[in-house]
């Protein structure tokens, strides 16, 4: 099959989170399974640095109609990476900006027009560069593509056999805009109904993709179930339940070429399940990087995350004082909501010498946190998939997580009687449940035989892209059959 990915992010060109890793990793694996893959991305200002020399335009100008005047987009050949073709939609007034989605914490007011233009440009470009069997779109930024495919382009003979798959990476981000967006994007008003794109008098990009895509996937089996409930559906649970027959949960994979303690170039020492001695060097290096000096018997708890309420840090705030009474060291890396950045700073200041935080994103340091910590903390309120707990398992760092979404799918509760399991989980979203679970992990840590078995169990897990990629190919085949 020929597959076109359309997304707002893809590693290594542009990344703000896990979406970029998924688009980059999955596209490579689909190609290795014998399919042709092209990835379309906006040509952001930050992407230009990845393109050497003068831009190579394969399409000089695509006309994108507007309500008052037309806009024009070019298609830049981004070359190939291990066989995957990359194309960039160039429209400087739309994408050549300091931020990707906004600036200084605020979203751009014309994001509907920006990503509406992107979706149209991808459809038009493929008519010249290769119409796929399936368009695979990701999150709200490209969710309008299936809508266009089934409405504005429904009678286009070039595209009539192309199917579409929408992957929801996080249902909390939906792309909601005023009703006037219908006119701004030159869409038919008959799609602005509650059973289509209208959502409590807003124009909802993600809902449109859910309604019009041939297949809908999300990034873990548990999350596919959760988003059909009011607690996790963020208002779209009705639309998702309507599509339950076409909704599939496929767990994200990870790239073990980048995340492997035996070869990771960011680490002070390397180690394997058979020789863990290098992990001690990683621990020393991590403590040095965070300015801490604690006993070898003191467990190190690592946090590497967006500092946001979604991530369960309100629970951590409630138990901070009691956690400080335990013999633990805590290192935290990330940025996010000002409230939680302040919490982590205050926490570290009040417990200097044992707790340390760095308010920034640093990829190399993130690898050091995974390798040098003993325990990795992810008490998320909800987590569609999560990648850090998977990295932690590979690095012999024991995850403590809430049993939600992909965290529940990837971490098995430790059972000392059977020597089975890979980490520690709690169900109720309560501070005491979190503290109790940390205490269970600490008890296991002090039993070196238990802890060694836990590490071995985790490092033996395989969350590579091999199995998920085959599951996606099956979804593509179903989507293609629908349009055949």
Residue 118 lies in a domain: yes
User: Mean pLDDT throughout 462-472?
Assistant: 97
Identify the pLDDT of residue 50. 85
Residue 264 lies in a domain: no
pLDDT, position 140: 98
Q: Look over the chain and give the mean of its residue pLDDT values, rounded to a whole number.
A: 96
Q: Is the pLDDT of residue 484 over 90?
A: no
Inside any domain, residue 260 = no
Are 107 and 211 within one domain?
A: yes
Both 19 and 129 in one domain: the answer is yes
Supply the DSSP string of 392-446, one letter for each residue. Answer: HHHTT-EEEEESSHHHHHH-PBPBTTTTB-SBEEE-S--HHHHHHHHHHHHHHHT
pLDDT score recorded for residue 273: 95
For residues 380 and 247, membership in a common domain is answered with: no
Nearest to 304 by CA among 229, 202, 372: 372
What percentage of residues in the chain have a pLDDT greater than 70?
Answer: 100
Annotation-wise, does 32 bind a ligand?
no
Count of structural domains within the chain: 2
- Are 289 and 228 part of one and the same domain? no
H or E segment to which residue 483 belongs: helix 466-483
Residue 404 pLDDT level (bands cut at 50, 70, 90): very high
Instruction: Please tell me the predicted confidence (pLDDT) of residue 53.
Output: 82
Confidence of residue 482 (pLDDT cuts 50, 70, 90): confident
Q: What is the pLDDT of residue 124?
A: 98
pLDDT on residue 98: 86
Q: Can you give the pLDDT at residue 16? A: 85
51 and 102, same domain (yes or no): yes
Q: What is the mean pLDDT of residues 391-407?
A: 98
Residues 219-247: tens digit of each pLDDT = 999 999 999 999 999 999 999 999 999 99
Same domain, 71 and 94: yes
| pLDDT score, position 406 | 97
Q: pLDDT (tens digit, 9 = 90+) per residue, 320-353?
A: 999 999 999 999 999 999 999 999 999 999 999 9
Asked if pLDDT for residue 248 goes beyond 80, the answer is: yes
How do residues 140-174 score in pLDDT, each as one tens digit? Answer: 999 999 999 999 999 999 999 999 999 999 999 99
Same domain, 295 and 383: yes
Model confidence at 305, pLDDT cuts 50, 70, 90, reads: very high
Alpha carbon of 179 to those of 102, 116, 193, 288, 383: distances in Å? 21, 14, 11, 54, 30
Q: Do 325 and 227 share a structural domain?
A: no
pLDDT band at 97 (very low <50, low <70, confident <90, very high): very high
What pLDDT does residue 52 have? 78
Q: Facing residues of 319 across strands? A: none
Considering the domain architecture, whether residues 27 and 121 belong to the same structural domain is answered as yes
| Pair 47, 191 in one domain | yes
Give tens-digit pLDDT for 369-393: 999 999 999 999 999 999 999 999 9
* pLDDT confidence tier of residue 190, bands split at 50, 70 and 90: very high
In a domain, 266, yes or no: no
The mean pLDDT of 440-450, rounded to a whole number, is 97
**Where is average pLDDT lowest: 92-106, 281-295, 419-433?**
92-106
pLDDT confidence of residue 446: 96
Containing domain of residue 389, as a range? 277-459
pLDDT, residue 403, reads 98
Query: Model confidence at 134, in pLDDT bands (50, 70, 90)?
Result: very high
Taking residues 273-278, report their average pLDDT: 95
For residues 381 and 287, state if they share a domain.
yes
Structural contact between residues 19 and 143, judged by C-beta atoms closer than 8 angstroms = no
Q: Which residue has the tokens 């008519």?
A: 127
Q: Are residues 207 and 333 in the same domain?
A: no
pLDDT of residue 314: 97
| 187: its two tokens | 């869409």
Residue 468 clears pLDDT 80, i.e. is over it: yes
- The dihedrals phi and psi of 193, each to the nearest 5 degrees, come to -130, 160
CATH number at residue 305: 3.40.50.2000
């Amino acid at each position: 099959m020929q597959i076109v990915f359309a997304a707002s992010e893809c590693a290594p060109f542009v990344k703000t989170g896990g979406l970029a890793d998924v688009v980059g990793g999955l596209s490579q694996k689909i190609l290795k399974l014998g399919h042709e893959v092209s990835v379309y991305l906006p040509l952001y200002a930050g992407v230009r640095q990845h393109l050497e020399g003068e831009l190579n335009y394969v399409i000089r100008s695509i006309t994108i109609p507007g309500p008052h005047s037309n806009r024009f987009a070019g298609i830049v050949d981004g070359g190939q990476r291990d066989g995957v073709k990359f194309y960039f939609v160039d429209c400087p007034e739309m994408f050549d900006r300091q931020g990707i989605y906004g600036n200084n914490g605020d979203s751009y007011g014309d994001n509907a027009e920006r990503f509406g233009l992107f979706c149209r440009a991808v459809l038009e470009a493929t008519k010249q560069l290769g119409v796929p069997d399936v368009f695979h779109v990701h999150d709200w930024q490209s969710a309008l593509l299936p809508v266009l495919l089934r409405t504005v382009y429904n009678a286009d003979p070039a595209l009539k056999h192309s199917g579409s798959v929408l992957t929801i990476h996080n249902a909390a981000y939906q792309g909601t805009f005023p009703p006037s967006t219908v006119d701004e994007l030159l869409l038919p008003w008959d799609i602005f109904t509650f059973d289509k794109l209208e959502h409590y008098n807003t124009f909802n990009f993600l809902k449109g993709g859910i309604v019009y895509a041939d297949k809908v996937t999300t990034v873990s089996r548990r999350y596919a179930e959760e988003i059909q409930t009011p607690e996790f559906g963020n208002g779209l649970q009705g639309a998702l339940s309507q599509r339950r027959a076409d909704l599939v949960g496929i767990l994200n994979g990870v790239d073990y070429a980048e995340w492997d303690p035996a070869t990771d170039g960011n680490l002070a020492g390397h180690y394997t399940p058979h020789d863990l001695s290098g992990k001690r060097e990683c621990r020393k290096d991590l403590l040095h990087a965070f300015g801490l000096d604690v006993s070898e018997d003191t467990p190190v708890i690592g946090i590497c995350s967006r500092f946001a309420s979604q991530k369960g840090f309100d629970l951590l705030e409630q138990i901070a004082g009691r956690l400080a009474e335990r013999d633990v060291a805590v290192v935290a890396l990330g940025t996010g909501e000002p409230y939680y950045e302040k919490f982590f700073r205050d926490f570290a200041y009040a417990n200097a010498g044992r707790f340390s935080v760095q308010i920034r994103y640093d990829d190399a340091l993130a690898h050091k946190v995974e390798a040098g910590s003993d325990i990795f903390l992810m008490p998320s309120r909800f987590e569609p998939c999560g990648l850090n707990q998977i990295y932690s398992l590979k690095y012999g760092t024991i995850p403590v997580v809430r049993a939600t979404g992909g965290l529940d799918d990837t971490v098995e509760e430790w059972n000392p009687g059977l020597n089975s399991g890979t980490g520690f989980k709690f169900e109720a979203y309560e501070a005491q449940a979190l503290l109790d679970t940390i205490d269970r992990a600490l008890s296991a840590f002090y039993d070196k035989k238990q802890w060694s078995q836990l590490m071995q169990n985790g490092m033996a897990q395989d969350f590579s892209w091999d199995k998920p990629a085959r599951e996606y190919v099956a979804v593509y085949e179903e989507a293609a059959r629908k349009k055949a």
